[in-house]
Chain A
């Protein structure tokens, strides 16, 4: 019998299904440095796992996938620990602010609408920008491959950024930035992640690529390393306060995703930074379209569980 009963989800599942899902999503994580919750949670819900259990168990699974991926990227020298630490500090504070902000927005009423629309716009703009930018870079050909664009100092913004105190050399990323920049950007992502209820990988990757000017390989490794910490925190909170982590399901997902993360990392090594970016851009755009369709098409049933997020 290939079926296994999931005690917290109160659901029975064919074990090949979560292992396969884990492989797929883990591979994406190793390739792009995203947690893959945007894909995993709805897929689990489609096979009958309650939404709250799906989200919580997914974060437990990401702990495994991202530690597997972080380890692989660390061995390849792809993690900028210093940059990661600053971003982490920022996003931690941002997360706390975001939770307060969302309370305030909810009290104003109709906040969910504003949040959803902002989320869609943001994903759409980021996806489109990344797509066009990496397409143009790919067209230009290989001659400028991996050439690092140091801050060009042609804009006023760049001048201000350069004159900030605490200028730090980030060796792995090959950039010199004020330590304040990643902390503020981290806080910004933390606020958005808390308000929109997403892990933040989608936002973190473009921010690191375009605003911190880090090379794509280091972005993927560093992002995975950050996701690892976020998901450890979320898993604990979900298990402690909501009792929604299904250990049995997490183990099955892990069996696939830890291996997937390794193969994703290996695959990523063979691809150019711009190829990775354009693939991620396509995925971001597909997710955007899916969210828009979900929100605009008349649902079959107008009721959902009040499990709360």
Chain B
């Protein structure tokens, strides 16, 4: 990313000259979201993230939302004794995000060269190329494992890659765009990054990024902290509440004439 911005800086002068020479041909890509925060309150049931901004004319756009790239441990099922499907071993997918949403104005593989996809981490194929599977497996097996990983994530609504849904219209000397991302409740509290890439002739020519913070507030925050930091106390409280509820309902049923 740094290398890219440096490159942009180097290109700035001739580009500026070009803009002056051909008015209306270019505009810097920008990105903004409707709200920088999503607060998880007690009645939270997901949200929508509206992404908008400006970009140049004659470009395709790729909008990506992702979280930090981490290592995810998973269990692999296998047929044991030729009979039963059981967890047979661990596998670690290294350098993958917990969440990855991608929308593009056209199919990623058609608008971007493979090298560019990999360099910017755009699309499932780039994710697969940048990920490391530990312990190592043969390429064919790695491919099916990663395909399974993506399906697993998609079922959990943590990954999606769609074409379309990016509205673009002429605006001044460039164009404005907007896209709405369904934000499901399954996306956990985290710091997310939203990146917009302007693409032309198979290459990324400009980009912009912004952050999205999803966090728990109020009761939700208090409970999570208690569960994580004071597990013993939390456990005892949970037991007392359950006992009180059980015995309380028992007494109510007795006096309420439920039993004779």
Chain A residues engaging chain B, CB cutoff 8 angstroms: 1, 3-5, 7-8, 10-12, 48, 60-61, 63-72, 75-76, 110, 112-113, 116-117, 232, 235-241, 243, 245-248, 250-251, 254-255, 258-259, 261-262, 266, 294-306
Smallest CB separation, A238 vs chain B (Å):
7
Q: Which residues of A contact B17 (CB under 8 A)?
A: none
Q: Would A296 and B84 be within 8 Å (CB), given that A5-B44, A72-B250, A238-B235 are in contact? A: yes
CA distance A297 to B83 in the complex (A): 9
Q: Is B155 on the interface with A (CB-CB < 8 A)?
A: yes
Given A254-B245, A301-B151, A303-B75, 19 more pairs with CB closer than 8 A: A5-B220, A7-B219, A10-B189, A12-B45, A67-B250, A235-B238, A239-B234, A239-B235, A243-B227, A245-B238, A247-B223, A250-B238, A251-B245, A301-B148, A303-B74, A304-B87, A305-B74, A306-B73, A306-B90
Closest 3 CB pairs of A and B: A239-B235, A67-B246, A71-B250
Q: Which residues of B contact A240 (CB under 8 A)?
A: 231-232, 235
Q: Is B152 on the interface with A (CB-CB < 8 A)?
A: yes
Q: Which residues of A contact B81 (CB under 8 A)?
A: 113
CA distance A303 to B250 in the complex (A): 43
CA distance A21 to B181 in the complex (A): 32
Whether the pair B75, A305 counts as a contact (CB closer than 8 A) is yes
Q: Which residues of A contact B254 (CB under 8 A)?
A: 75
Q: Is B116 on the interface with A (CB-CB < 8 A)?
A: no
Q: Is B216 on the interface with A (CB-CB < 8 A)?
A: yes
Q: Which residues of B contact A251 (CB under 8 A)?
A: 241, 245
Segment at the A interface, from B35-43, B119-127, B163-171:
B35-43
Whether the pair B43, A1 counts as a contact (CB closer than 8 A) is yes
Q: Which residues of B contact A76 (CB under 8 A)?
A: 259
Can you report 7 residue pairs joining A to B where beta carbons are below 8 Å apart? A3-B45, A7-B220, A240-B235, A245-B238, A247-B227, A247-B234, A247-B241
Q: Is B24 on the interface with A (CB-CB < 8 A)?
A: no
Q: Chain B residue with minimal CB distance to A68? A: B246
Q: Would A11 and B186 be within 8 Å (CB), given that A113-B81, A266-B258 are in contact? A: yes
